[in-house]
Amino acid sequence: MRTRAVKLTGPDTPDSVRPGTSNLPPPPIQIAASRRKNAEADSTRGAARAVGGDCSRRTPSNRRFRAGSRAGFPIGLLIALLVLSQGCAEKQPTFEEIKPADELYAEGLEILEGRRILGLFNYVNYDQAIETFQSIIDNYPYSEFEEKALLKIADAYFADHRYEEALAYYQDFVDLHPRHENVPYALLRIAQCHFNQIESIDRDQTETRRATEALETLIRRFPYAPETREGERMMIELRTRLALNMIHIADFYLDRTHWQSAAVRYRRVLDEYPGLGLDARALYRLGLCMENMHREDEALRLYHVVVENYADSPAAKRARARIARAD
């Protein structure tokens, strides 16, 4: 007799007869793992109860605490901001009282007078004086003391041998107050700032030229000012330095037999810086250049000029020897 297989698919079909299921019990290793997992869970719940009760239960107080925590963070932040803003509002700004301009000016002058140290030397706090005068410029820019303070700052820098800073303030004074009675003084100081930075004659003479330009402005604009007399005396020294620098360069070319380059510079000394006591030297050495360029007639003429006009100079003695050799 043939047996027919029956397919049961209803919800009430027992597991034992569902396809893909088995009535066999799970393996022992799965049972042991399940038991260990349950035991660990029981142990954790027991420890939680021992410390503070069952954490898995949400009591009304716990729910209130958690709800308050979620809502309390922005509230706490808002409270902190309010406290800080209240503190800032209660702290009133303080303003330092500024002394009148005349008192500040008198104070600055007193600082510039300095004080004796051990009776041996006078100490002047130039930085403090500059700061005092600067406060006048910052707080009273349209007062009569602003002009005076600007000039005193420049004087303080000059006395402290900080010539670049002094130069800037003297120039500002001239530019801002071109009709002030102290403009001649400021122009003279500008020249002196450059003069005090001049290098030796074998170096660059930029500062010498700038000092000369400042004095030329002083002499041109204020020919009768007392400062102009001092400026004219300084101008002679400056021009002499420029002439000596030119001769130094010409001698350099002469020693290296660059006759034409040397001759050009000796002529410049004669044309641009005459009457400074260097004419005899320049004429004689120019004659040497002409002689070496085979322009003997011109060289002899220059030698005769030296002998006739500067007979007592060392150059005249050498010029006579050259004339005698030519004869």
Q: Is the pLDDT of residue 13 over 60?
A: no
Q: Is the pLDDT of residue 3 over 50?
A: no
pLDDT digits (tens, 9 = 90+) for 35-93: 545 545 554 454 444 444 444 444 444 444 344 444 444 666 656 665 555 555 445 54
Task: Indicate the pTM of the whole model.
Answer: 0.68
Q: What is the pLDDT of residue 95?
A: 58
C-beta separation of 71 from 64 below 8 A: no
Q: What is the pLDDT of residue 86?
A: 56
Q: What is the mean pLDDT of residues 2-17?
A: 42
Three-class DSSP category at 161 = coil
Q: What is the pLDDT of residue 176?
A: 95
pLDDT confidence tier of residue 238, bands split at 50, 70 and 90: very high
Q: What is the mean pLDDT of residues 291-299?
A: 96
Our CA dihedral for 32, 38, 39, 45, rounded to 10 degrees, sits at 170
Q: Is the pLDDT of residue 214 over 90?
A: yes
Which of these ranges, 2-16, 96-110, 128-142, has the smallest mean pLDDT?
2-16
Q: What is the pLDDT of residue 116?
A: 78
Q: What is the mean pLDDT of residues 103-120?
A: 89
Q: What is the pLDDT of residue 71?
A: 46
Q: Count the alpha carbons within 13 Å of 162 in the hemisphere toward its beta carbon.
A: 13
C-beta separation of 239 from 273 below 8 A: yes
CA distances, 123 to each of 66, 70, 109, 165 (Å): 73, 69, 14, 20
Looking at 162-295, list the stretches that DSSP marks H as alpha helix, in order from N- to C-terminal side. 163-176, 183-195, 206-221, 226-255, 259-272, 279-292
In this predicted model, which residue has the larger pLDDT, 298 or 121?
298
Q: Read off φ and ψ for residue 116, nearest 5 degrees.
A: -75, 135
What is the total residue count of the chain?
Answer: 327
In this predicted model, which residue has the larger pLDDT, 239 or 65?
239
CA distances, 247 to each of 6, 68, 159, 202 (Å): 133, 95, 34, 10
Our CA dihedral for 38, 44, 46, 52, rounded to 10 degrees, sits at -150
Q: What is the pLDDT of residue 273?
A: 97
Distance CA 85, CA 221 (A): 63
C-beta separation of 304 from 323 below 8 A: yes
Q: How far is CA 124 from the centre of its chain?
A: 25
Q: How far is CA 76 from the centre of its chain?
A: 48
Comparing CA positions, the residue from 285, 298, 281 lying closest to residue 259 is 285
Distance CA 176, CA 82 (A): 51
In this predicted model, which residue has the larger pLDDT, 309 or 119?
309
User: Mean pLDDT score of the chain, rounded to an integer?
Assistant: 82
Distance CA 287, CA 318 (A): 11
Encode 13-37: b = buried (16+ Cβ within 10 Å), e = exposed: eeeeeeeeeeeeeeeeeeeeeeeee
Q: What is the pLDDT of residue 42?
A: 52
Percent of the chain with pLDDT over 90: 67
C-beta separation of 19 from 25 below 8 A: no
Token pair listed for 4:
């027919």
pLDDT digits (tens, 9 = 90+) for 173-201: 999 999 999 999 999 999 999 999 999 99
Element at 116 (helix H, strand E): strand 115-117
Three-class DSSP category at 121 = strand
Q: What is the pLDDT of residue 185?
A: 98
Q: What is the pLDDT of residue 326?
A: 85
Q: Is the pLDDT of residue 98 over 50?
A: yes
Q: What is the pLDDT of residue 192?
A: 98
217 CB-near residues (< 8 Å, 6+ apart)? 187
Q: What is the pLDDT of residue 77?
A: 62
Q: What is the pLDDT of residue 327?
A: 76
Q: What is the pLDDT of residue 121?
A: 78
Three-class DSSP category at 122 = strand
pLDDT digits (tens, 9 = 90+) for 252-289: 999 999 999 999 999 999 999 999 999 999 999 999 99
Token pair listed for 224:
């009768």
Q: What is the pLDDT of residue 63?
A: 42
Q: Is the pLDDT of residue 322 over 70?
A: yes
Distance CA 324, CA 263 (A): 23
